[in-house]
Structure 1
Amino acid sequence: MRNVIWLIGGYAAVSVLTLVTVIVFRDDTAMVTSGVWVRGTIVAAASLLTLFFAVRAERGDRRMLRRLRLVTAIMLVAITVIVALPGAFPVWFRLEQAICGLLLLPVVVRLNRRAGRGERKPAARR
């Protein structure tokens, strides 16, 4: 679970730095569109919330683990859509989202692989 927290921490750091970049370049309308403002703000807030879920899940909170599985999967799908849509966002933002997706992909795989193993009942011994 420690690797999951590091990956989500990286995702949160990239997302917050992106929001800082959006604020710094707010007057450049080609670089910072209204969509970048909205998506950048949502992603930064969601990434911090995701990090909170991960820390709580590591401490044994099963409810937070379920939330973490759900949120990371949803965010990965949303990121994939953003990266794939041509012209919806500036290239720099789509590249940033691709980096976030690459950080979340192993998290989603690991959490769901682990979930599958953890939910099976052990075979009865004779």
Structure 2
Amino acid sequence: MTSTDLHHPDNRRAFRTVRRLVLAYLGLSALTLVAAFALRDHTDLITPAVWVRGTIVLAGATVALLLTVRAARGSRGAFRRLRIVSGAMLVAIAAIIAVPGVFPVWMKIEQGLCGLALLGVAVLINGRQLRTLFAQP
């Protein structure tokens, strides 16, 4: 891969959009834990599952951001891992939304918003433009 390819305006734009979507995912994840902390005395809204899932999601969003930064700098491994991680997170979010009773409605809505951001990431990362950029020579 040449630096010219990485710095092509279309590729830079695609990675800028991916980074913004991942930052939105990270921000929503952080706000979820802030809200959980603020509402910690309301056990009907903040269940142990909210704490566990919220912490895992924040960690996953942090990893996704690190992978995005490394992929934008040309790391094939980070690009490949970002493709896998974004897809796996989408599946996990779909399961959380679908499973009745484990998570409160507000968290399912938050996870739906996170899922929309990740769907955008997955579409861009798995699109022809970026896959071609990281194709084996």
User: Which residue identity does 1:15 align to in structure 2?
Assistant: S
Map 1:50-65; keep pairs closer than 5 Å: 50-65=64-79
Structure 2 residue runs of 5 or longer lacking an equivalent are 1-14
Map 1:60-99; keep pairs closer than 5 Å: 60-99=74-113
User: Which residue identity does 1:92 align to in structure 2?
Assistant: W
TM-score (normalizing by structure 1): 0.89
RMSD across aligned positions (CA): 1.5
TM-score (normalizing by structure 2): 0.83
Deviation, 1:117, is 3.8
Deviation, 1:63, is 1.0
Dislocated runs of 4+, deviation >4 Å: none
**Structure 2 equivalent of residue 101 of structure 1:** 115
Partner SS state of residue 74, structure 2: coil
Q: Distance in 1 between matches of 2:36 and 2:64?
A: 21
Identity of aligned residues (%): 48
Structure 1 residue runs of 5 or longer lacking an equivalent are 122-126
Map 1:1-126; keep pairs closer than 5 Å: 1-114=15-128, 116-118=131-133, 119=135
